[in-house]
Structure 1
Amino acid sequence: MPGQTLPPHIQGMLSPQAYPHPVDGVELRQTHISYLFFAGDVVYKVKKPLDLGFLDFTTLERRRHFCEEEVRLNRRLCQETYLGVVPVALVGGEVRVDGEGEVIDYAVKMRRLPEEGMMTRLLERNAVTPELLGRLAQRIADFHASSERSDEIDRLGGLEIAMLNWRENFEQSQPYVGRTIHRRQFQEIQTFVDAVAERDAGLFELRVREGRARDCHGDLRADAICFQDEGVCIFDCIEFNERFRYSDVAADIAFLAMDLEYRGRRDLSDELLGRYLAAALDATLPLVLPFYKCYRAYVRGKVDGFQLDQPEVDEAQKAQAAEAARRYFTLAHAYATQPTPRALIITVGVTGSGKSYLANALAARLGAIVLSSDVVRKRLMGIDPRERRIEPIDTGIYSPEVSERTYRALLDEARPWLERGKPVLLDASFLQRAHRRAALRLANESDAIFLAMECEADESLVWERLSERQGERRVVSDGRWEVYQTQQERREPVDELPIGSHMVVETARPLRAQIDSVLEHLGLAG
């Protein structure tokens, strides 16, 4: 921030002598609302005395309160990093952190995280792997499942407040139409948002009833994530405004997915969302993802655009901010105009063939509800979907009678969504012609596109996948090698479907290539 004069106590915190522990040097970094002091292995964060409408740090007491809130809330996802709140005091005319004297400010005290573990650094080195994303997705899903619920959270996490936020966004970004966002983009995004609100109000209400509104993170981006040997640390959540934090969990995971796509890593977004859906068992989340990804991209474009009218920002920074804003608005527009055809897509394949892995990620990309036979089967039998049930083949919950009930229930659950014009993805084996024909009939009755994705993998890869699955907890599939062998013997060739309604997907290929091949087959590539 060129030419900026620092407040005296902030200037004083640049001295190594201000700290109660040995410090060789102090590095100051700033955000638009905070000062961060990197002092050895510790970081101290002081809030700027600002009133921006959506936050108010203008008094000492308010800054203390929000420091305490920051520690409390961030310990949910980064327990060992947030050490507490310490006073910044004047002692004998000198600034002392955690000193005994006249308190002039407060600071959040944090353990310094390793730079090499930051997700942004890993992205720069192309070192974010599916395994890391699996750990991250599970961490976020577990957090969402355990986060607080209340009537107030349900109110703020519903469609009414989401639309209030959208109206504010449109009003605040109006001066930037023609500067950072094209008028056509502005109008088409408004049209999309209004159409979702009118068409899908019941869907948003359903998600609130299902408990999907939670006390979330609120600012879930790659630069708030650190991978460590002891676990994934997700820090820097929003503490200053409950309206920005109380939301549908979809708004949280959509932020990170959008961030990855903005960085040009749609492949990582696909991987993250697919693994999150598998961990969270949130069938309707893909239906609202375009809405929330559009919202997150739009807000980022709006905020970057604000810098164009701030006198303290130099011309080079303004040019950079304008380009970033245009990219965010273009991404928001892409989400708003993404085609979502009425379609029924089924998987076909034996256990271990990669059906569910593809189904979840494809559903997230396509904006389709995903219905799993593993989940439906266990729900019909009154069993927790994640409970492992190893039973002899053709007995218990895997008897022919229960399997028939499961396939009927899958189609029954798919029907109303198809009637509402939604894409539906059925994640099941569909190894029998009769089951595939029944799905095709439903698609025809619903005037929906139909596609059977036959997932294939070498036997060695199937063996590897099933072996890994045996050691995993909280997976819904009970597939194992004996099941694979039996299914291979009993599977019926896909030779009964109309031309163009069947394709083979080699699941040894990268996930993004699998998804792109399906979308190309559907005429949705691009």
Structure 2
Amino acid sequence: SYVFLAGELVYKLKKPLDLGFLDFTTLEKRRHYCQQEVRLNRRLCDETYLGVVPVTLVGGQARVEAEGEAIDYAVKMRRLPEEGMLSRLLERDAVTPGQMALVARRLAEFHASSERNAEIDRYGGLETALVNWRENFEQTEPHIGRTVHRDQFDDIRAFIDGVAQVDADLFDLRVREGRARDCHGDLRSDAVCFTNGGVCIFDCIEFNERFRYSDVAADIAFLAMDLEHRGHQGLSDELLSRYLSATLDSTLPLVLPFYKCYRAYVRAKVDGFQLGQPEVDAAQQARAAESARRHYALAHDYATHTPPRALIITAGVTGSGKSFLANALAARLGAAVFSSDVVRKRLVGIEPAERRLEPFESGIYRPEVTARTYRELRDDARPWLDRDKPVILDASYLQRAQRRAALRLAMETEARFLALECEAEEAVVWERLSERRGEERVVSDGRWEIYQAQQERREPVDELPVGAHLAIDTTRPLREQVDAAVRHFQPET
């Protein structure tokens, strides 16, 4: 697009291009896609998109919103504050975990409410993703030796071929679970702006449904990849942990490497396209080439750093930070993650966010229900372990017998095993549990009296083999927690 800044307003005109994946060559097509841009972006940034206005000739000069026959159309927007743009804040290292939590909640709400139908399901599965990948490889083969090395190209293609051969049923499962939605499609940090205490997510793809209809994992993976590309792994950890907490999407981490690789590859491809455009000057072309090389390298990292089969459990009292760490680690490793809170409520037939503030070891927290819950967790984990996938079980694991049962499962499936004992000072736990009381849609029913009872009943983690236990101080920054777990779990890295 051509973008014109006019004080507090912005006007966007679409270039009359046909790039194969988009066609803006006629006036009517440009008008249609302007209307689509406004309609679709109002889902996440309602007050910013004001409408579609005509461009007319007045005295031989082009004017917007003037009388006369339209020669083109423009999207009219309110101008967003530059100082609130996520990309600008990242440059200054000025983004807070709270802001990432805000983005995660907004995206979780958006994905839960966005459209789903049979056509979206068809586009949101693996088959369409593979069509996109074939197109990527065809379009970028001429870039080999310029912005991508031959071994990078071949390794990435081998990774995609492997996913197609082994994991088709995983992608089918996600479609059946309703994870294919009408998404944003271009969720970069440049498309996120913090304003008026909220967040505006704008500039979604309007020109090609194939790029917008996708697994929700493809959307969140784009922003996570962009954060990691810009050197902000910790913010990516925060974003993904919060998103998983809000969505309870246990298999999303399994497909994150695939979609992060895809998003990095597409960014590299788009940067590479600039190298052939005559209107792009030499300095811009040099920057585009460097960006393409870095994105290809990142895509290669995602394709080649696959974790081994492993079973990881958390251990700790309520409020000790288990779920926050479990979700972040699952996203980093590409591991399925199952929560005892979710499984327990599934077993008794209630919604995960339904509160049951019952006394310790009563109601749905009776010992027999807890025993069933831990058996069900192991049953949920086994099929993925049998498929060489890492799994994280997010539960208290306060008793030696519970931990030994998990260790037996790891031994039966020949998986590596690690227990992460989550620790925090009592004052921190009090603060966390107090904050939780005021939050909506919280899965955990943990409270101060439960914490005190668990402290009395917990058994020391002293029965596990050497190297199978790691204590984590969850008052440290999340990235440090995840880094410590990854180093212990994969010491060779």
Match of 1:354 in 2: 321
Residue 289 in structure 1 maps to residue 264 in structure 2: no
1:120-519 to 2 correspondences below 5 Å: 120-519=87-486
Contact map agreement 1:343 1:443 (CA 8 A) in 2: yes
Superposition deviation, residue 525 in structure 1? 6.3
CA distance in 2, matches of 1:43, 1:229: 19
Q: Tell me, in whole angstroms, the C-alpha distance in 2 between the residues paired with 1:425 and 1:525.
A: 20
How far did residue 312 of structure 1 move? 2.8
The residue that corresponds to 2:65 in the other structure is 98
Contact 2:359 2:450 in 1 (8 A): no
Amino acid at match of 1:407: Y
C-alpha distance in structure 2 between counterparts of 1:379 and 1:313, whole Å: 56
Task: Tell me: CA distance 1:412–1:230, structure 2 relative to 1, closer, same or farther (3 Å).
Answer: same
Deviations 1:96-146 (A, max 9, x none): 311221111111111111111111121122111111111100000110000
Deviation at 1:318, TM superposition (A): 1.9
Q: Distance in 2 between matches of 1:251 and 1:525?
A: 30
Root mean square deviation, CA, Å: 1.0
Note if 1:112 corresponds to 2:69: no
8 A contact 2:41–2:202 mirrored in 1: yes
Offset of 1:308 from its aligned partner? 2.2
Structure-2 separation of matches of 1:94 and 1:343: 67
> Does the CA contact (< 8 Å) of 1:339 and 1:524 recur in 2?
no
Q: 1-side partners of 2:29 and 2:467: how far apart?
A: 63
Shift of 1:523: 2.0
Residues 525 and 304 of structure 1: CA distance in aligned 2, closer, same or farther (over 3 Å): farther
The answer to whether the Cα contact below 8 Å between 1:345 and 1:453 also exists between their aligned partners in 2 is yes
Distance 1:162 1:86 in 2: 35
Q: C-alpha displacement at 1:94, in angstroms?
A: 4.1
Paired residues of 1:91 and 1:102 also in contact (CA < 8 A): no
Alpha carbons 2:336, 2:391 under 8 Å: kept: yes
Question: How far is 1:214 from its partner?
Answer: 0.3
Three-state SS of the structure 2 residue aligned to 1:505 is: strand
Partner of 1:23: none
User: What per-residue deviation string (whole Å, max 9, x for no partner) do you get for residues 161-201 of structure 1?
Assistant: 11111111111111111111111111111111100110100
Return the letter of the residue paired with 1:44: Y
Q: How far, CA to CA, are the matches of 2:76 and 2:269 in structure 1?
A: 31
Render the CA deviation track for 1:462-500: whole Å, top value 9, x for unaligned.
111111111111111111100000000000011111111
SS in 2 for 1:311: coil
Task: Extract unaligned runs of 5+ from structure 1.
Answer: 1-33
**Counterparts of 2:475 and 2:492 in 1: how far apart (Å)?**
21
Alignment partners' CA distance in 2, 1:422 and 1:336: 15
In the aligned structure 2, how far is the partner of 1:39 from the partner of 1:248? 37
5+ residue gaps, structure 2: none
Contact 1:456 1:505 in 2 (8 A): yes
Amino acid at match of 1:443: A
Letter in 2 for 1:484: Y
Residue aligned with 2:393, SS: strand
Q: Tell me, yes or no, if the aligned pair for 1:519 and 1:525 is still in contact at 8 Å.
A: no
Deviations 1:219-272 (A, max 9, x none): 001000011224210000000000000000000000000000110111111111
Report the Cα distance in structure 2 between the residues aligned to 1:377 and 1:40, rounded to whole angstroms.
55
Find the counterpart in structure 2 of residue 40 from structure 1.
Answer: 7
- In the alignment, is the contact (CA less than 8 A) between 1:516 and 1:525 conserved in 2? no
| Range that drifts further, 83-92 or 235-244 | 83-92
Q: Is the 8 A contact 2:251 2:337 kept in 1?
A: yes
Aligned mates of 1:316, 1:97 — CA distance in 2: 33
Are residues 1:89 and 2:64 paired? no
Provide the aligned length of Structure 1 versus Structure 2: 493
Distance 2:89 2:288 in 1: 24
Tell me by how many angstroms 1:333 deviates: 0.3
Tell whether 2:30 aligns with 1:63.
yes
Runs of 4+ in 1 over 4 A off after TM superposition: none
Give the deviation of 1:92 after TM superposition: 4.6
The farther-off stretch of 339-348 and 115-124 is: 115-124
Percent sequence identity is 74
Distance 1:445 1:525 in 2: 24
Could you tell me which of 49, 67, 79 is aligned with 2:46?
A: 79
TM-score calculated relative to the size of structure 1:
0.92
Q: Which amino acid aligns with 2:27?
A: L
Within 1, Cα distance between the matches of 2:366 and 2:88? Answer: 50
- Structure 2 match to 1:10: none
User: Which residue number in structure 2 is paired with residue 3 of structure 1?
Assistant: none
Shift of 1:71: 0.5
The answer as to whether partners of 1:262 and 1:328 remain within 8 angstroms in 2 is: yes
Cα offsets for 1:13-49 (capped at 9, x unmatched) = xxxxxxxxxxxxxxxxxxxxx1111111111111111
Query: Aligned partners of 1:402, 1:316: CA distance in 2, in Å?
Result: 65
In structure 2, distance between residues paired with 1:480 and 1:109? 49
